Amino acid sequence: MPKAVVLLSGGLDSSTVLALVQQQGYEVYALSFSYGQRHNVEIEAAKRIANSANVAEHAIIDIDLRGFGGSALTADIDVPKDRSENEINTGIPITYVPARNTIFLSFALAKAEVLGSFDIFVGVNALDYSGYPDCRPEYVASFEAMANLATKASVEGEGVLKIHAPLIDQTKAEIIARGLELGVDYGQTISCYDPDTTGAACGGCDSCQLRKKGFTEAGVTDPTRYQNS
């Protein structure tokens, strides 16, 4: 079985990617990051999902991005709630974490190189998303180009590294429909940026709203556990 490195946040998108990767016959090495995020309870979700999926390895990497700040997810800045669809679709919100995907993919590159894997999977998505620059197709392509100059394998011609972003042009509803076909238990996942300590979702942050809309459009029941409900 070829080996794949999968970035696993514990959310809906990356959990769907994990299922897709396993269906494609890869052995999965999942990476999650404890980066000082407000919603660190997503790590518990990632553990549940990795465990249910019986991955080859699930590593949790500790990097504290709170010292960098600049985001509502890592600094003492309120997570915006109950924004309109138009607000969500305009500009880059304060929940953007500077260079987060670049940092995560860099660690994935290290992991892939040590494993001898040429396949990194990431659940970024550029349709029903928060407008983050490091989720766009052109960003993913440029990271891949860089990665193919960064490693020993790239010099020694052992293979071409691919950054797979299989959800990048799908709507949240399409992702949910695909995941359900693959048997993903979305009740295990956490998308909320501001959950309580039990993992119950706030329901109002952009991520909760995108998730709710996805379940509604997919026409399936939302298994998310919301606060005060």
Residues at the site binding a second copy, with contacts judged by CB under 8 A: 59, 61-65, 67-70, 92, 96, 98-103, 105-107, 109-111, 113-114, 133-134, 136, 138-139, 142-143, 145-147, 149-152, 154-156
**Minimum distance of a second copy from residue 38's CB (angstroms):** 17
3-state helix, strand, coil in the chain (%, to 5): 40, 10, 45
Amino acid at position 165, single letter: A
Residue among 152 and 198 whose Cβ is closer to a second copy:
152
Closer by beta carbon to a second copy, 19 or else 124: 124
CA atoms of 81 and 36, how far apart (whole Å): 21
CB of 138 to a second copy, least distance (A): 5
Nearer to a second copy, 146 or 177 (CB): 146
Q: Is 193:206 a contact under the CB 8 Å cutoff?
A: yes
Considering the complex, state which of residue 101 and residue 189 has its C-beta at the smaller distance from a second copy: 101
Nearer to a second copy, 132 or 186 (CB): 132
154-191 exposure pattern, b = at least 16 Cβ within 10 A, e = fewer: beeeeeebbbbbbbbebbbbbbbbbbeeeebebebbbb
8 A C-beta contact, residue 27 and residue 2: yes
Shortest distance, position 140 Cβ to a second copy, whole Å: 9
Shortest reach from residue 23's CB to a second copy, in Å? 27
Encoding tokens for residue 192?
Answer: 């909320």
Taking the complex as a whole, the smallest distance from the CB of residue 49 to a second copy amounts, in Å, to: 20
The 8-class DSSP code of residue 119 comes to E
> How many degrees, rounded to 5, is the angle at CA 50 between CA 33 and CA 41?
45
